Every structure is written in structure tokens, then in C-alpha cells.
Structure 1
Amino acid sequence: MSLESKTKHLIYNVHEFLLKHKKIEPNTNKNRLFLFGIPQFLNYGDLAIAVAEIKFLNRYFPERELVLIPEPSVENVLIQVKRICNDSDIITFHGGGNMGDVWPEQDRLREKVFLTFNSNRIICFPQSTNYTSNKSKSLLRASKVMKTLSDLWLFARDRASYNFMVENLPKNVHIKLVPDIVLSLKATSKYNRTNVTTFMRNDKEKEYNETAVRLITDISENSTIINSDTEEMYWKHLITEKSLPKLVDAKLKEFQTSKVIITDRLHGMVFAAITGTPAIVFDNNNHKVRNLYEEWLTSYEYINFVGDQKEETIKEKVSSILDDVKGYTYSMDENLFSSLRDAFAK
């Protein structure tokens, strides 16, 4: 292991130790919002979700004190928070695409929070579900926990997830459909667009697509391609309340300086949308990219979901974009998030 790697590893361990021994000391004179599960890993989609959640809560509920609880410290602070939590406090949990069998550790963490605060209002920010079936052990366990809760609100970020939740989760759960919370952000481009950039998966959600491989190879013959991603495997930054928006802004700049991006990541597509960046979008293996696109982004002409398009059609679209480089204006109706706002208006 290199000296640089050892240093990063040491920083990571110290940071983890501090998080696990974090003390929660909110101002007891206010009603509070406890936001559990702030990510401490360099998945920029998850980091952007956290930024959007914080902005959403501060914008609409400034009278409440917002208490952020990083994911590594969740289990360690449950007793502390339970001791100071009152009936008017709201428990909320970080959103994303991890409700199901692909990332089972996230379900278990949510369940521990649910069980600890079973008499409070609990609100989960928009999620995608990916249970393998309605007989999944993870689903049955989660449902059993949910049945014990007095006031649980789950928000789905696509129609398929919403339908699955309604059909398979207990009837006492309030289930609503809203966009991915990152779509509540705006990041107008103020940079020159000079790059072609790829943001492609390399994990267990990847759907190998030969068309995407050939497309990238074809473009590279005439244009310089920057291969990036919305996830980094190695620890490079401490993630704090101050550094969080800066990290997200730095990643968004990669989109804002791109003529066109190519991606099979859900938040690659979402980042392209909010920055007005032309995008060629391929699906992933559990179709959460397609599902979100079909529900919220079909009217955005610069977001080009490949679907069943012929390879030649896709190449022509890329050529057209590169011949007329420009950014687009993004706007999403805030009323689409009204049911989420209403859930917090206790």
C-alpha cells in the first residue's frame, strides 16, 4: 500500500471513529427534523440527494431544527436521539434507490430506525424499489416492521416502485409518488461546453450494452472523450455539512462543461437534466433509469433515452448535438412535490 493510500485509509478510520461517537445535541426549544442516513461515501447521486433533502427541508420548514445524522453513526445514536425525541419531532430517512434485495443492508438500517421511533411520524424521501418478488425475504421482513408503525410515509420516485409499494406493503403505510428529490435542484450552466463525457456503471446494477460500447468507440475517433463517473471507489474527501454541497457542485461542473454526456446511471441522467446538458441515456439492469425517465423526463428534448432505438439513429443524434453545441433551460413544477411537503406539515 502506498503512503498516499495509507494516509487516506487513516483519515477514513479517524473520520469513521468520530462519526460513530458523534453526540446529538439539538436545540430543545424547537421542534425538530431528524434526517437519518446522510451518505459518507463518494456516490455523487447519493450526495446530491442529501443536498436536495437539506435544501428542501430548510426551504419549506425553517421553523424546525434540522439534525443531520450520517449513515455510519445511525445505529450508535439511536438511543441518544430516542432519549431527547418528543412526539412533535419528525423522523426522516435519506432517499435513493436502495429499497430491496440489491442493497439489503440499507433495508436493515431503515428498519432499526423504524422500530426505534415507531410512535413518531416517519418520512422516507423518494425511493426506487428493487425486490426480486413479492415473496422476497427482505420484503416480508420490512413489511412486518412497517405494520407496527403508527405514521409511516413512503415516497416512490417512479410509477413501477409506487405500484409495487401499493400492492405489497401494509395498508397502514402512506404511499405517494413524487420525482427524485434531486430534480428539485437547479444548476444553470455558466461554463463553455467543450467535452464529451461518459458516466457509466461498473457495479452489480450494470446492464452490459454493446451499442453503448460501440457508440463511445465511434465518438472517440473524432472527439476527445473524458471517462468519468458519479461514483468514486477510493476515499478522497471528508464528507461534512460544509463539504457536501461543494463536492456535488464540482461533479455538476463536469456536466455543465460537456457538449453531451453518455450514461447508464440514474443520477447521470438526472444531473444532465438539471444542468440542461444533452444526454444519451442507456438503461441499467433493474430498469430504474427507464422508470424514472418515463415518469418525469420524457418532455425534456435534450434527454435522449435510447430504449429500442437503432444504433444508427443514436449516432445521428450525437452528431446533431455536436454540430450545434448548446445548453438547455431546466424547469420542474414545484407542485409535483406537494404531497412530500404536506407530509412534513404536521
Structure 2
Amino acid sequence: MSGAQQSELIIRLQDRTHDCLKKFVKPDEPIAILDFPDIKNCGDSAIWLGEMAYLQHRYAKRPSYVCTTDDFSPEELKSVAPNGPIFIHGGGNFGDVWVFHQDFRERVMELFPDRQIVQFPQSIHYKSPERLEQSRRAIGKHKNFVLLVRDEESFQFAQENFDCETYLCPDMAFCIGTVQPDAPQFPVLAMLRQDKEQVGAVDFSAYPDIPKEDWITEDPSKVRVAKALGAASALLQLNPSEVRLRKLDAAANNRFRRGIRQISRGKAIVTDRLHVHICSLLIGRRHAVLDNNYGKIRRFMNAFSGGTDLSYKATSLDDGIRWAREQAAVAA
């Protein structure tokens, strides 16, 4: 895949994203974005930075109010963003796999029944019919909830189960644009999940020459320093919302850059993480893709990102490593 083809894919997905979002962003209205991902997963930070980049590049706007689930203040939101849409951070937590986030968004619907609430692109997965029914009632009661989803299966599920506007939209991380990678250090890197979305235990003993990692380990002191520097850059404005935004943006940038440095080390990559796939496209690095435990990655690739020679849908770990080794040899 040439650099021109890479840029063409990213621009096409950015334009598709704008087509979905442009009716909900007004130049003269404030914007609130809730549920900042203050977690170690670099992929969630990539989504956040894409959300910020979209608002900046298309509208020269910054959100008037941002929060994590821990410091959410309905009163402050009403004060600094008394009108305009309330956006909720995108990702893969719509449903009952990561139920805390679902509880949070349904609480927001209850607290703001008269405000439009727009969910940035999500993947949907429910295991419990009872939890699905709770979400169905919350959305139906609100009447002004807008749901963006990032695969056809989630779109069909939402159409069948929820009474709300629903749009098929790419992941917001593509709004970051192309990213310059670091130089590779070894032929193949395996970036495999170590959380509840992994398919199962992986026997990696046959590949002692291949580093096996995840990107949910970080140095907390570096994130604290980044947050402090980000907050300090806004102190002269005496604006608590701007101080918080710069603090959170700095943390997201720190985590995203850590992730880019990490995956850049492989000439070719094997992964079962959606945002290792997306970030590999952003840096132009070849990668073999396995899936998570409910098909999230293949569903996304089928909808938006699977048609390039940078990525390969592996049928197994052995197949993915075979392909990655071949690609690394070609790139040598």
C-alpha cells in the first residue's frame, strides 16, 4: 500500500465521519464530551485524540466541558455548556461487557432528558437480555439520543432494539490522520490482549524470538507529569474547564505516543486489538489481525478498513505469524 493509498483511505474515512457528525455540531453552540478514558489502554486515548482533532480541524472548536466518570458534575456541565449537544466518548463499551460505562451513559440520559445526547462511534455487544432491556427503556424514554456505531452488525442490532437515530460511522481515531512511526527494531511484534476480550489463553512457546506484549502497562509517574504540565499551560486563563481539558489531553497524548512507539518496533505486527490495527494503518505498518472474543475487529474491518494490503485477516495465531514473518522479510 503506497503512502498515497494510505492517505486516501484515511481521508475517505474522515469525510465519512464528518458526514455523520456535521448535523450535530453547530459553530455557535458549546459542546460537552463525557467519559474521558483515563485508563492505560492506548487505543482509548487514540479515540479521544481523534474526537479532539475532528472538532479542531472541522470547526476550530474545543469542548466547553469534559470529564471522566469520576469527576462528572451535572451542575458544572449546565453552567459552562447550558445548551448544545452532550457527546459521550466512543469505543467498544456499549453493552454489558464493560457495564460501568453503560451505566454511566444511561445515568446521563436520565439527568439530561431535554438535551440531545450523541454517542461517538461504538461497537455494541450484550450478553444479558435483562441488561439489554434496561438500555432499551433508557433510550426509549430519552427520545433525543443519537447513536453512532462502527460496524454493520451493531447498526442492525441498534435498528432492531433501540428507538433512536443510528448512523454507521468510522472510528474517531482516523481523524488523527497519518502518524510518523519510529524505526523498527525487530521483524515481528505480537500485540495481544490480556483482558476480558481476549479469545483465550495463547500458547506462545513456539515463538521465543517474537516479543509478546500488550499496551495496557504504563509508568504512572510519566502520566502524572504530563497531566501536570498540561494543566499548568492553562492556569493563567483561570478557566477550570480549560485546565481540565489540557490535563486530560496531555494524558491522552502521552499514552498515544507510548502506543505508537511500542508498535513501531515491529516491521510487521500480529494483533487482536482493534486500535493496534487502526494505529498500524495510521503509521503505514503491515499487520496480521486476529479477532477479539465477540468479533469486534473483523466487523469493523468489513465495514471500513479491511480493503488494504497493509492488513491481513489471519485464521489463527500460527497463520498470522507466518504472514507477518513473510512481510518483515520483504521489508528488510
- Asked if these proteins are the same fold (TM beyond 0.5), I'd say yes
- How far does the alpha carbon of each residue in 1:286-312 deviate from its partner, in whole angstroms, 9 at most, with x for none? 1101111221222111211113x694x
Distance 1:202 1:63 in 2: 36
Q: 1:284 aligns with which of 275, 283, 292?
A: 292
Task: Note if contact 2:197-2:292 (Cα within 8 Å) is conserved in structure 1.
Answer: yes
TM-score (norm 2): 0.77
Distance 1:85 1:183 in 2: 27
Residue identity opposite 1:131 in structure 2: Y
Q: 2:82 aligns with which of 83, 86, 90?
A: 86
Matching of residue 138 in structure 1 with residue 131 in structure 2: yes
Q: 2:190 aligns with which of 184, 191, 198?
A: 198
Residue identity opposite 2:158 in structure 1: M
Q: Which moved more, 1:243-252 or 1:261-270?
A: 243-252
Distance 1:61 1:113 in 2: 25
Distance 1:65 1:203 in 2: 31
- In structure 2, relative to structure 1, the CA distance for the partners of 1:150 and 1:314 (3 Å cut) is closer
SS at match of 2:104: helix
The aligned residue for residue 264 of structure 2 is 256
In proportion to residue count, which structure has more helix? 2
Distance 1:148 1:232 in 2: 40
The aligned residue for residue 168 of structure 2 is 177
Distance 2:197 2:268 in 1: 23
Q: 2:105 aligns with which of 104, 110, 114?
A: 110
SS at match of 2:177: coil
Q: Displacement of 1:99 after TM fit?
A: 0.8
Distance 2:325 2:219 in 1: 35
Distance 2:201 2:312 in 1: 16
Distance 1:92 1:191 in 2: 33
- In structure 2, relative to structure 1, the CA distance for the partners of 1:65 and 1:161 (3 Å cut) is closer
- How far does the alpha carbon of each residue in 1:54-88 deviate from its partner, in whole angstroms, 9 at most, with x for none? 111122222565422123212xx01332355433x
Distance 2:116 2:317 in 1: 48
SS at match of 1:268: helix
- Show structure 2 runs of 5+ residues with no match: 1-27, 228-246
Q: Which moved more, 1:178-187 or 1:60-69?
A: 60-69
Distance 1:277 1:243 in 2: 25
- In structure 2, relative to structure 1, the CA distance for the partners of 1:64 and 1:90 (3 Å cut) is farther
SS at match of 2:124: strand
Distance 1:275 1:306 in 2: 20
The aligned residue for residue 295 of structure 1 is 303
Q: Displacement of 1:228 after TM fit?
A: 2.5
- In structure 2, relative to structure 1, the CA distance for the partners of 1:209 and 1:282 (3 Å cut) is farther
Q: Displacement of 1:165 after TM fit?
A: 0.5
Distance 2:190 2:196 in 1: 18
The aligned residue for residue 243 of structure 1 is 251
The aligned residue for residue 16 of structure 1 is none
Residue identity opposite 1:72 in structure 2: D
Distance 1:268 1:108 in 2: 27
Q: Displacement of 1:189 after TM fit?
A: 3.2
- How far does the alpha carbon of each residue in 1:177-231 deviate from its partner, in whole angstroms, 9 at most, with x for none? 0111112322433532222222111221111276xx4xx54453xx4x3333122
SS at match of 1:102: coil
- Tell me how many residue pairs correspond in the alignment: 282
Distance 1:146 1:119 in 2: 13
Q: 2:215 aligns with which of 208, 220, 230?
A: 230
Q: 1:48 aligns with which of 38, 42, 46?
A: 46
Residue identity opposite 1:109 in structure 2: F
Residue identity opposite 1:291 in structure 2: R
Distance 1:302 1:65 in 2: 34
- Show structure 1 runs of 5+ residues with no match: 1-29, 327-346
Matching of residue 152 in structure 1 with residue 137 in structure 2: no
Task: Note if contact 1:255-1:275 (Cα within 8 Å) is conserved in structure 2.
Answer: no
SS at match of 2:119: strand
Task: Note if contact 1:36-1:93 (Cα within 8 Å) is conserved in structure 2.
Answer: yes
